[in-house]
Amino acid sequence: MVFARILLYLSLAASFIFLISGYGYQWDIWSLSAGMTMLRYSAYAAIGLAIISIASIWFLRKSRTRAIAYAVIAFLFTGIISGSALYWNHRATSAPPIHDISTDLESPPEFVALLRLREGARNQPDYPGEATADEQRQAYPHIQPLELEMDLQEVMDAAVIILAQRNWDFVAINRNEGRIEATEKLPWFGFKDDVILRFSPTATGTRVDMRSKSRVGRGDLGVNARRIDRFLSDLEESLN
């Protein structure tokens, strides 16, 4: 009974540290490196405790009901944390170590209004260069401009609606230049990723280019590519 109670307390502590690691950074309680350290070691602890919990359930199967309940609860908490940690680790290892994705690799849309908000950001606003472009071509060949047979202003209107539905922070909407800039704040660690949409008239309608860039981190776990893919898909669907 004592062992099961200690196992439960340790599991709750590991789960709490795992969750608070990101919020503590977002709330400026500790640094990003401290938050990542807490995240890493609490994940290790959760995986170890999950294994112990499974073994404990087996060995305690003939013990008091409360002891088994403690072991089961401990496994539920650590199992969820372990699964989350393994999932994000898989995302990190399967995505290329880049944090700047663009539909136009020859002439990526340039941040204008967002420059002042990116002052002091770890990742500079300039496009990293051909090495990043090559990584993107290999990992995300499907990230391409969106060609629409519709008026430019109508396409911009639809894009604004989708941005508002996503609750992204608008930074600039310049209809004369065909440019929209916005920021999405991610949950948990509160990372901010910046987005620019460029609308260009074509012979048959409008071309939409999109660039998404993280302010911190060498890699982005594929977040920027998924953001562009989903946004352009939703934009195309909304106009059909």
pTM: 0.90
Give me 48's structure tokens: 């170890």
DSSP codes of every residue in 146-214:
EEESS-HHHHHHHHHHHHHHTTPEEEEEETTTTEEEEEEE-STT--EEEEEEEEEE-SSSEEEEEEEEE
**pLDDT grade for 65, boundaries at 50, 70 and 90:** confident
**pLDDT for residue 64 is more than 90:** no
Residue 33 — pLDDT band, cuts 50, 70, 90? very high
- Length of the chain counted residue by residue: 240
| pLDDT above 80 (res 15) | yes
pLDDT for the residue numbered 1: 75
Going from N- to C-terminal start, the domains of the chain cover 2-94, 100-238
Q: What's the CATH number of domain 100-238, 3.30.310.80, 3.30.70.1230, 1.10.357.10, 3.10.105.10?
A: 3.30.310.80
- pLDDT band of residue 63 (cuts 50, 70, 90) is confident
**pLDDT, tens only, 120-155:** 899 999 999 999 999 999 999 999 999 999 999 999
Backbone CA torsion sign across 94, 97, 100, 102: negative
CA-nearest of 169, 164, 239 to 208 is 239
- For 83-102, the pLDDT digits (tens) are 999 999 999 999 999 999 99
pLDDT for position 232: 98
Per-residue model confidence as pLDDT tens digits over 152-184: 999 999 999 999 999 999 999 999 999 999 999
- Predicted confidence at residue 66, as pLDDT, reads 86
Q: Which of these, 93, 105, 203, 91, lies nearest to 147 by C-alpha position? A: 203
- Whether the per-residue pLDDT at 62 is higher than 80: the answer is no
